[in-house]
Amino acid sequence: MPKCTINGKEVEVKEGTSIIEAMQQSGDRIAHYCWHPGLSVAGVCRLCVVEIEGNPRVQIACNTMVTEGMKVNNTSEKVKDAVKWGLDFHLINHPLDCPICDQAGECGLQDQYMEYGKYDPEMAEAKVKKHKVVDLGPTVVLDSERCILCSRCVRFTEEVSKTNELGLFNRGDRTEIGTHDGMLLDNKYSLNTVDICPVGALTSKDFRFRQRVWYLKDGDSVCNGCSTGCNIKVYYNKEGLFRIKPVYNEQVNGHWMCDSGRNAYKFVNREARLVKGVVAGKEMAPGAAAKSASEVLKSTSGDALALVLTAQYTVEEYEAIIKTFVEEFKTKKVFFWVNNKETFDTFDGLLSRGDKNPNTKGLLKVMEKYGITSTWADLSAGLANGSIKTVVVAGPENQAVFPDYNERLKELSKAQNLIWMQAGKNDALTALTGNVWIIPMKTFVEKDGTFINFSGLEQKIKKVTNVVSEALTLTEATLLMVGKNLALPTANAAFMPNNQRDDQVTLEARKKNEFVFRRGSL
Amino acid sequence: MSEVKVLTEFYHLPEYQTLAGYKAKGGYETLHKAFKMQPQQIIDEVKASGLRGRGGAGFPTGMKWGFLPKNGEPRYLLCNADEGEPGTFKDRMMMERAPHQLIEGMIISAFAIGSNKGYIYVRGEYVFPIECLNKAIKEAYAAGLLGKNILGSGFDFDLDVYRGAGAYICGEETGMISSLEGLKGQPKLKPPFPAVQGYLRKPTIVNNVETLAAVTYIIKDGAQVYRKHGTEKSAGTKLFSLSGNVMTPGNFEVPLGYPLMDLLMKEGGGMKPGRKLKAVIPGGSSAPVLTAEEVAKANLDYESLAGLGTMLGSGAVIVIDDSQCMVDMLGVLTHFYAHESCGQCTPCREGTGWLNKVLHSILEGRGRLQDIDLLIKVADNMKGKTICALSDAAALPVLSFVTKFRDEFEFYVREGRSKVKGTTYAEMHH
């Protein structure tokens, strides 16, 4: 464990720690672009320079390992000057199109220039023009002029996705990134390149020009796209959710997440959601719809009542509903609707798992606790012979990962009474006639709870915002179905994060962003 | 004192290119001797000779070999024949006139370092040298000098020529390794150094053509005989490519420590009639320029030139007479380096382009007086700030030209034309 001194403070680090990592450990700020903790060291931006006692030249902190007794500083005039010039080198051919750049508000170049920049720029020559609006593939667009050639994206495709679509082409100040001949940036993790691009060179086709980031709020959550449970940040405002980005968690997802997980925001937005409850073809408030189901549940309790659960709800919700069914309604006919059985146990080697549910382990744990042993065959038989009269379904939140949805809907609708709880709209569902209850449910960003991922890791989710405020959690629906009352929120509270005024913009990324300038009041 | 032909003794003989001609002059006899030595003995002999890398950096060859790990891991020997430094053309002559000399040097070196595979990385434009090398390698294989169990020694060594696609930076050892690996020719971060992790992440030694050729002579006659030439810190002879405004440009082999003025006047035949010496770039275009006064004090060795703030580099001596415009010359150099920067490190990628633009603004009559200081500031902030030395190579000429010939730059800015030639850039070039 070598000890070094960084800006006068003694720091003890693990063997093999680079100076830049040691500085992060000691809380010292350092300019950098190309270094990324999840990628190999490129050492090309030359911004993370430090002075090391006994060394006449400044050195880069990303490729210099800490040795015992090393004395490092990055506050000397020599270092500051080197960084200022380094930033000017970055800027001389970078267009000043911040007002129309999609990265504005989150741009590392802007932020670092504010903190370390050379405020008396001397470049008077014409800038090198490069390609604009380069279509790299289905998800990402490149503006080559803005690229500062940090090579993070290239290294990502080489080292993380291992798809090698990107490369650096040409030489000198004509260098550009691009895709190799005949290739597109088309892999399951392509949008991570946008996350790690420190400027507005790589932008997400899905997100670009849809919102200015300063009009967005954000909140932490856990992706419900598969059983990995990637830690995420959800970006939203009154208009809805706009994007999802990964949050570092060494135990779960490291720095990355898959593209399909990023699409989770789409089925959360209001246009994709069930807003009104429906009972026998008649629209009503979700709470009223749930409560109206209490009579039929009481009358068909016992073995005539079945509960079908998908693994897309929280542990707490499972606890509430299974306990109720076992103890109040006296039935152990609880069934796990396993989607995509054939691919359930697959894994792509990085993050994405074939089990496209966030909480399979959570569901199984609660089922085990209540001694549930029912199989789908029992349900099918019960429906076929008419012994099961009422079926309650906690349907999928993300219908796209349930390829057997229509088939199951058809099978379950054989019941005399079908109580279907679900977050998203579905034409086949709303087209059902007869004794059908449709109850709108909340999504994972609208509630608190616990997901247990594939490895058994319990992760808490917190409510980020309300999108359909009148929708119910499974717990709330359970209480109402038992006949209890709830104080339900009104629609007026929509899109309000917890304990926050709507004029407060708290972009967490900006507060914690390593690049952000700590300046005084203006 | 004049030329001392150690390496180039038989270069005038056309048959020296062939295996028979080379053998007739004692070629490959040293190889027999080397195989009777222990590899470490060869390394020790090279160390004792004081041989320094002839490619430009001047790093002690034996010491470089000593950095190889002792774990018996497979290792590679790469011959750097990229020779991209403007003004340098010595390796070309060696490959054309004496390819077997290089091959013999490589076999001995490979035996010393325990490598069974070598590549000669030649710049793509060198079509004829590549033909010469390939022909010689074929002859050597046929004669059992390459391949399995060379001369019954039990030592195997395979050798191939690799033709580069033409990038200056592929002459930098890690850039060369990237290129050889099939990647874009971009230098790699050091550490790890190639001797520890080089080609295909295996220990690799990269030596220049001239360095490897010199190994044969060191083993043949012994380190002490080799050391009789040159100075204490710069041992042996060295090939100098003399170009520019002298009567008889060409390659000349002289002992290190040889007076620069003698090279110009004796080997180079002096200045052209009516012309005066103005400056000399002593070690390839990246070396800081010397004024005529400094040239008079300079000897061609590492320490003398370092004392004058410049370097021996690859030994490419470029002579500039009083008819030359330093602004225009620097314009050519900055254009070259802006074109050749690999684009990896920001100060080099953007700085070389910036220098080129500022210089051409001046040349095209759009310059401002502050641009002269700007050139110095930009160059200063490129120096020592990048993975490889291309940034320094671009910056050092700028710093030395502008500092030592500032009056020419100021005149150009004020008048919009060359102080020396009296003409504008357009008139000079069209």
Tell which CATH classification among 3.40.50.2300, 3.10.20.600, 3.40.50.620, 3.20.20.70 matches the domain B231-321: 3.10.20.600
Torsion of CA A190, A196, A199, A204, to 10 degrees: 30
CB contact under 8 A, B353 and A46: no
Residues 179-238 of B with CB under 8 A from A: 184, 186, 189, 191
pLDDT digits (tens, 9 = 90+) for B62-108: 999 999 999 888 999 999 999 999 999 999 999 999 999 999 999 99
CB contact under 8 A, A89 and B347: yes
Question: How far is CA A70 from its chain centroid?
Answer: 40
Instruction: Considering only the beta carbons, identify the residue of A45, A92, A171 that sits closest to B340.
Output: A171
Contacts of A177 in chain B (CB under 8 A): none
Question: In 3D, which of A85, A78, A81, A67 has the Cα closest to residue A19?
Answer: A67
For chain A, 522 residues long, give each residue's pLDDT as a single digit of tens. 899 999 999 999 999 999 999 999 999 999 999 999 999 999 999 999 999 999 999 999 999 999 999 999 999 999 999 999 999 999 999 998 998 999 988 999 988 888 888 888 888 899 999 999 999 999 999 999 999 999 999 999 999 999 999 999 999 999 999 999 999 999 999 999 999 999 999 999 999 999 999 999 999 999 999 999 999 999 999 889 999 999 999 999 999 999 999 999 999 999 999 999 999 999 999 999 999 999 999 898 899 999 999 999 999 999 999 999 999 999 999 999 999 889 999 999 999 999 999 999 999 999 999 999 999 999 999 999 999 999 999 999 999 999 999 999 999 999 999 999 999 999 999 999 999 999 999 999 999 999 999 999 999 999 999 999 999 999 999 999 999 887 655 444 444 444 444 444 445 544 444 444 444 333
Rg (CA), chain A: 27
* Mean pLDDT, residues B131-136: 98
To which residue do tokens 């390794």 refer? Answer: B177
Instruction: Considering only the beta carbons, identify the residue of B189, B352, B358 that sits closest to A172.
Output: B352
Contacts of B349 in chain A (CB under 8 A): 89, 149, 172-173, 175
For Cα atoms A62, A67, A72, give the angle at the middle one, nearest 5 degrees: 60
Name, in order, each residue with C-beta under 8 angstroms of A263's C-beta and a sequence gap of 6 or more: A206, A225
Its pTM stands at 0.91
Find the length of chain A: 522
Distance CA(B102)–CA(B79), nearest Å, equals: 9
Instruction: Considering only the beta carbons, identify the residue of B167, B350, B370 that sits closest to A89.
Output: B350
Q: Which tokens go with A186?
A: 């088309």
Q: Which tokens go with B105?
A: 């040097």
Question: How far is CA B69 from its chain centroid?
Answer: 27
Per-domain residue ranges of chain A: 3-92, 125-270, 273-482
Q: Which of B184, B350, B357 to mutate to test the interface with A (most CBs of A within 10 A)?
A: B350
CA count, 13 A, side-chain hemisphere, A312: 30
Print the SS3 string covering chain B: CCCCCCCCCCCCCHHHHCHHHHHHCCCCHHHHHHHHCCHHHHHHHHHHHCCECCCCCCCEHHHHHHCCCCCCCCCEEEEEECCCCCCCCHHHHHHHHCHHHHHHHHHHHHHHHCCCEEEEEECCCCHHHHHHHHHHHHHHHHCCCCECCHHHCCCCEEEEEEECCCCHHHHCHHHHHHHHCCCCCCCCCCCCCCCCCCHHHCCEEEEEHHHHHHHHHHHHHCHHHHHCCECCCCECEEEEEEEECECCCEEEEEECCEEHHHHHHHHCCCECCCCCEEEEECCCCCCCCEEHHHHHHCEECHHHHHHCCCCCCCCEEEEEECCCCHHHHHHHHHHHHHHHCCCCCHHHHHHHHHHHHHHHHHHCCCCCHHHHHHHHHHHHHHCCCCCCCHHHHHHHHHHHHHHHCHHHHHHHHHHCCCCCCCCCHHHHHC
pLDDT digits (tens, 9 = 90+) for A475-510: 999 999 999 887 655 444 444 444 444 444 445 544
Distance CA(A58)–CA(A157), nearest Å, equals: 31
**B390 CA to chain A: closest CA distance, Å?**
11
Tell which CATH classification among 3.30.1360.30, 1.20.1440.230, 1.10.1370.30, 3.50.50.60 matches the domain B326-427: 1.20.1440.230
Under a CB-based contact definition with an 8 Å cutoff, are residues A265 and A281 in contact? Answer: no
Q: Which helix (H) or strand (E) holds A234?
A: strand A231-237
Distance CA(A110)–CA(A103), nearest Å, equals: 10
For Cα atoms A460, A462, A466, give the angle at the middle one, nearest 5 degrees: 150
Please measure the distance between the N-terminal and C-terminal CA atoms of chain B and give it in whole angstroms: 43
Question: In 3D, which of B143, B127, B187 has the Cα closest to residue B23?
Answer: B143
Under a CB-based contact definition with an 8 Å cutoff, are residues A45 and B343 in contact? Answer: no
- A and B: number of Cβ contacts within 8 A: 100
Q: Which helix (H) or strand (E) holds A290?
A: helix A286-292
Contacts of B343 in chain A (CB under 8 A): 149, 168, 170-175
Instruction: Considering only the beta carbons, identify the residue of B186, B353, B384 that sits closest to A173.
Output: B353
What CATH code would you report for A3-92? 3.10.20.740
Distance CA(B255)–CA(B245), nearest Å, equals: 23
Tell which CATH classification among 3.30.540.10, 3.40.640.10, 3.40.50.740, 3.90.226.10 matches the domain A273-482: 3.40.50.740
pLDDT digits (tens, 9 = 90+) for B248-267: 999 999 999 999 999 999 99
Q: Which tokens go with A395?
A: 């349907």
Under a CB-based contact definition with an 8 Å cutoff, are residues A253 and A230 in contact? Answer: yes
CB contact under 8 A, B353 and A63: no
Per-domain residue ranges of chain B: 19-228, 231-321, 326-427
Pairing of strands B76-81, B117-122: parallel
Distance CA(A444)–CA(A471), nearest Å, equals: 12
**B164 CA to chain A: closest CA distance, Å?**
16
Rg (CA), chain B: 22
Distance CA(A287)–CA(A154), nearest Å, equals: 51
Amino acid identity, position B335: H
pLDDT at B110: 98
Is the CB of residue B336 less than 8 Å away from at least one CB of chain A?
no
CB contact under 8 A, A168 and B344: yes
Contacts of B358 in chain A (CB under 8 A): 125
**B310 CA to chain A: closest CA distance, Å?**
18
Residue of chain A minimizing CA distance to B368? A124
**DSSP class of residue A291?**
H
CB contact under 8 A, A172 and B340: yes
Under a CB-based contact definition with an 8 Å cutoff, are residues A336 and A367 in contact? Answer: yes
Amino acid identity, position A261: G
Is the CB of residue B367 less than 8 Å away from at least one CB of chain A?
no
Q: How confident is the model at residue B300 (pLDDT cuts 50, 70, 90)?
A: very high
What CATH class has A125-270?
Answer: alpha beta
What CATH class has B19-228?
Answer: alpha beta
The percent of residues in chain A predicted with pLDDT above 70, rounded, is: 93
Judge if B231-321 and B326-427 fold alike in CATH terms.
no
